[in-house]
Amino acid sequence: MFLFPISVLVKQILDDLGWRLPNGFYTMKKADCAFAHLKNVMTSLTSGASYSDSIFSNMVRYGLINRDEALNRLQREGQLPVDPINKAYGTLGLPDGYIEY
């Protein structure tokens, strides 16, 4: 499915490019986009499953990881970062914590 194993790509991003996950973030996926995290809140509230839930579910379905690994990664990476979400609220003229999730 992928040209390179994900671990190779992550190693290149971290080691070769020197990128680091910003404080308060739990996943590399769209870490720098506050509205991506707000979209994740809305997806979770409207469908009962977050974008992260869907991604890890598909990874299990395609045999890229097993169920236990997906559940472990969801606990670690599935948390929504509060500060970027509040930043998106501010951009929209809404108060911090506008939507409880």
Query: Taking a C-beta distance cutoff of 8 angstroms, is the pair 41, 94 a contact?
Result: no
Return the pLDDT at 28: 67
Give the pLDDT of residue 98.
86
- Where are the extended beta strands (E) located within the chain? none
Report field, pTM of the whole predicted structure over 0.75? no
- Cβ distance 13 to 4 under 8 Å? no
* Cα(23)–Cα(83) distance, integer angstroms: 10
Angle formed by the axes of helices 34-47 and 51-61, nearest 10° = 80
Q: In one letter, which amino acid is 64?
A: L
Tokens of 40: 């994740």
Residues of the chain with pLDDT under 70: 1-4, 6, 9, 24-32
Report domain extents, the chain: 6-91
